[in-house]
Amino acid sequence: MIYLDYQATTPVAPEVAKAMQPWIEEKFANPHSPSRWGHEAAAAIEVARKQVEKAMGLKGGSVAFTGSATEAINWALKGMVEKSGGRRHRVITVATEHAAVLDTCEWLAGQGVDLTVLPVGADGRLDLSLLARELDHRVLMVAVMQVNNEIGVTHPISEIADMAHKAGALMFCDAVQAFGRVELCKGPDLVAVSAHKIHGPKGIGALWMRKGREPAPLIHGGGQEQGLRSGTLSPELCVGFGAAARLAGERSTRDYDHVQKLWNAAIQSLGNGWTVNGSTAHRYHGNLNLRRQGLDGARLIADMRDVAFSLGSACASGSGRPSHVLRALGLDYRDARSSIRLGFGRYTTQQELVDACRRIAAHAIAQEKLDA
Ligand code: PLP
């Protein structure tokens, strides 16, 4: 199989699997228990925390582990609304955010939060003058992602954080698709990341919190994570996340350059007739979301069973609904259904990508002939 779905998840790095192994097979102690084995597990978790914090490269805060980035996002948004106690009750976000942000914001709106969802332009980018117009003393938080999961388009997070702070608001950033791929933007107060997008294990995420900006707990119980998040931590998942973060830091230039080469090779081998969805300049180039007039994306995926790629986001693909991100770009229903997403990275070889792209192009042309 040729795997071109790096936005949905990434293959676990061999170094990560190796680092996790002893914690799965032998070292099973509860990291919160006072035994020597418990202390050893707790120490390994602290090493992992430092590895994730180092790779994130943000100053003035620390990381709490969560069960996923989805949990980190829910925690950041709901926990800050709770902590504010109604002093500020507006949340501003963007139409192209991941469902974890949008659905949480909608849930908050159901609880009385005043929600504003800003549109994006045809290139998928936010017009900052729209944001400036909305920012006032009622805004508690601005939530904008750094790299979009469906189209790879980036937002100027540091600039947005400055604007939010000048209005006395907080800034939350979903950096799930940015972490380990591009440098994280400085400025946000809260940042969510996930291990499985950086060649780590599934089932673990993290919330970076600026000191003094910690949200109220979302999950109550033993208070294992600094009294802020409850639940026994998994040493193997934390160690795996730490190893993946260390590797991402060490390989950042190599991985980034590799992705640039892959992008150029993919564009070349697909040939004519394709339009890239979203800005090509303000983009992470490991995400190639494109459309072709008349293409039936779902049929293409079904026809090419040995190549794994996606319609838009993994969630949108599963639901059969056209992607809310592509609709936000102004694409009509037909154009959205004619779009596919190719995602590649560290372990993708140029040869397999070129092969897959040539075959995708050939299948698309065959579809056109059949439908003519
Ligand atoms: N945010 C973005 C941009 C994502 O791409 C994803 C995963 O698809 C998530 C949040 C959720 O991450 P997790 O799978 O760790 O819950």
Can you tell me the mean pLDDT for 76-98? 96
Those residues with Cβ within 8 angstroms of residue 100's Cβ, 6 or more apart along the chain or in another chain = 69, 70, 73, 74, 174
Please give the distance, rounded to the nearest whole angstrom, from the Cα atom of residue 368 to the centre of ligand 1: 34
The arithmetic mean of pLDDT across residues 302-306, rounded, is 93
Is 357 one of the annotated active-site residues of the chain?
A: no
Q: What is the mean pLDDT of the chain?
A: 95
Q: How many CB atoms lie within 10 A of CB 1?
A: 8
- Could you give the CA distance from residue 322 to residue 291 in angstroms, rounded to a whole number? 13
pLDDT for 221-261, tens place per residue? 999 999 999 999 999 999 999 999 999 999 999 999 999 99
86 pLDDT more than 90: no
Q: Is the pLDDT of residue 103 over 90?
A: yes
Average pLDDT over residues 86-115: 97
Q: Which two tokens stand for residue 247?
A: 């590797």
Residue pair 287/340 in contact by the 8 Å Cβ criterion: no
Over residues 96-125, the mean pLDDT reads: 98
What is the model's pLDDT at position 313?
Answer: 46
Q: Give burial (CB, 10 Å; 0-12/13-18/19+) of 28.
A: exposed
State the distance between the two ends of the chain, measured CA to CA, in whole angstroms: 31
Contact 244, 16 (CB under 8 A): yes
- How many residues can be counted in the chain? 372
Output the CA 8–ligand 1 centroid distance in Å: 8
Q: Ligand 1 pocket test: which of 77, 146, 184, 194 has the largest number of ligand atoms within 8 Å of its C-beta? A: 194
Query: Strands 90-94, 114-118: parallel, antiparallel or unpaired by DSSP?
Result: parallel
Which residues form the pocket of ligand 1, taking CB atoms under 6 Å from any ligand atom? 68-70, 98, 100, 145, 149, 174, 176-177, 194, 205
Outline where 57-177 has alpha helix (H).
69-84, 99-110, 128-134, 157-166
The token pair at 194 is 């996930």
Residue nearest to atom 5 of ligand 1 (CA): 149
Nearest to 171 by CA among 148, 190, 186, 152: 190
Q: Alpha-carbon distance 331 to 157, whole Å? A: 25
- Residues 18 and 308: their CA atoms lie apart, in Å, by 26
Q: How confident is the model at residue 320 (pLDDT cuts 50, 70, 90)?
A: low
Residue nearest to atom 12 of ligand 1 (CA): 69
Of 343, 302, 303, 294, give the one whose Cα is nearest residue 320.
302
Rounded Cα–Cα distance for residues 338 and 322 (Å)? 10
pLDDT reported for residue 312: 59
> Using CB atoms within 10 A of its CB, is residue 6 exposed (0-12), middle (13-18) or buried (19+)?
buried
Token reading at 109: 């709106």
Percentage of the chain lying above the pLDDT 70 cut: 97
Q: What is the pLDDT of residue 314?
A: 45
Residue with tokens 């963007």: 94
Catalytic option among 105, 173, 238, 315: 315
H or E, element range at 196: none
